[in-house]
């Protein structure tokens, strides 16, 4: 596609509910990143994939967060048993060499 596509754009979840956020990277981009952005803050790194391999998951805040990219293209970020502190915008970015291209994000609100 023309850019990085994320879905849904908005998600409201009840506390304790599981959610799945989808990212379609730019075709051919080897690297894929997930970031979490709280209101008024910069993006915080969550995890990084090179093709299907998850090479860095040091930013995942707890074991409730899980990400996968099974075929080296589309990626899913799953959050289990959502908590209010999980409310944020989740950004996906893909990269070929230098700069990363970001999607518009999924705004998750946990109520």
> Residues in the site for other proteins, rule: CB under 8 A?
4, 31, 33, 35, 40-45, 48, 50, 55-56, 58, 91, 95, 98-105
CB nearer to other proteins: pick between 19 and 46: 46
CB nearer to other proteins: pick between 50 and 80: 50
CB nearer to other proteins: pick between 17 and 87: 87
Contacts 24+ apart (CB under 8 A), 15-18: 15/82, 15/83, 15/84, 15/110, 15/111, 16/81, 16/82, 17/81, 17/82, 17/110, 18/78, 18/79, 18/80, 18/81, 18/82
Q: Closest distance between other proteins and the C-beta of residue 18, in Å?
A: 25
3-class SS at 96?
A: coil
CB nearer to other proteins: pick between 28 and 42: 42
Q: Closest distance between other proteins and the C-beta of residue 28, in Å?
A: 16
Q: Closest distance between other proteins and the C-beta of residue 93, in Å?
A: 8
Q: Length of the chain in residues, anyone?
A: 111
84: how many CB neighbours lie within 10 A of its CB?
9
């Amino acid at each position: 596609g023309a850019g990085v596509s994320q879905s849904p754009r908005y998600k409201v979840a009840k506390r304790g509910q599981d959610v799945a956020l989808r990212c379609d990277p730019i075709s051919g981009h080897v690297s894929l990143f997930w970031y979490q952005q709280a209101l008024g803050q910069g993006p915080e790194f969550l995890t990084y994939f090179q093709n299907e391999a998850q090479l860095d998951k040091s930013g995942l805040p707890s074991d409730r967060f899980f990400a996968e990219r099974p075929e080296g293209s589309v990626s899913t970020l799953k959050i289990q048993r959502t908590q209010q502190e999980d409310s944020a915008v989740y950004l996906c970015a893909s990269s070929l060499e230098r700069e990363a291209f970001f999607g518009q994000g999924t705004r998750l609100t946990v109520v």
